[in-house]
A and B are shown apart, each in its own frame.
Chain A
Amino acid sequence: DQQVKQNSPSLSVQEGRISILNCDYTNSMFDYFLWYKKYPAEGPTFLISISSIKDKNEDGRFTVFLNKSAKHLSLHIVPSQPGDSAVYFCAARNTGNQFYFGTGTSLTVIP
């Protein structure tokens, strides 16, 4: 059963607007959450992360929010740029340092 879920396979946003990507998880023992960005024919690259003891982490245009009670995290990109168009994966780590990935959301930023 999928422990990390991204229910939106795709998202289109106008350049300059906010992109919000969502992720849900089922395992309350996850202690670390990450977002990766993937371009076609390349491996995923790390974008931003958050530990389970925080509820927000910001890095430039990227902010990740964690709602532990709802087992939900989201990635906000403000302002969105055409170069942000990619597939975004959320991932969660268990205490054994195994990572579980969502199915990805394909973001298209329209110029």
Chain B
Amino acid sequence: NAGVTQTPKFRVLKTGQSMTLLCAQDMNHEYMYWYRQDPGMGLRLIHYSVGEGTTAKGEVPDGYNVSRLKKQNFLLGLESAAPSQTSVYFCASSYSPLTYNEQFFGPGTRLTVL
């Protein structure tokens, strides 16, 4: 089991460029999440998905789009990158909330926007 994997691990973009971050999980989890971690801010939820084909906004969704076409994959897109989107991005997944379940995190993607 690979758990939760993220691609790429590092990326440098110029302002205005676009990119897609890929998250994949092999645990058959229903729920998937995208977070960003900034110094002094903890982890903040960007978007999440409660199942294949569904997405919902989190705390800080502006400037990002997501898609969940397959249950095991959750994509985070930046259409026009801005320096304020420089951050470390973490993907996570979990079982349904019917029981008390923790989230499993990927290793992170460090993104720098110049």
Residues of A within 8 A of B (CB): 2, 4, 6, 32, 34, 36, 41-46, 49, 51, 89, 91, 93, 97-104
Residues of B within 8 A of A (CB): 4, 31, 33, 35, 40-45, 48, 50, 58-59, 90, 92, 94, 97, 100, 102-108
Q: Which A residues are CB-close (under 8 A) to B59?
A: 100
Asked if residues A44 and B43 are in contact (CB atoms below 8 Å), the reply is yes
Q: Given A89-B43, A99-B45, A101-B44, are A46 and B31 neighbors across the interface (CB < 8 Å)?
A: no
Asked if residues B97 and A93 are in contact (CB atoms below 8 Å), the reply is yes
Asked if residues A98 and B43 are in contact (CB atoms below 8 Å), the reply is no
Asked if residues A45 and B58 are in contact (CB atoms below 8 Å), the reply is no
A30 to B9, CA, bound (A): 33
- A98's contact among B42, B45, B105, B106, by CB below 8 Å, is which? B45
A4 to B108, CA, bound (A): 22
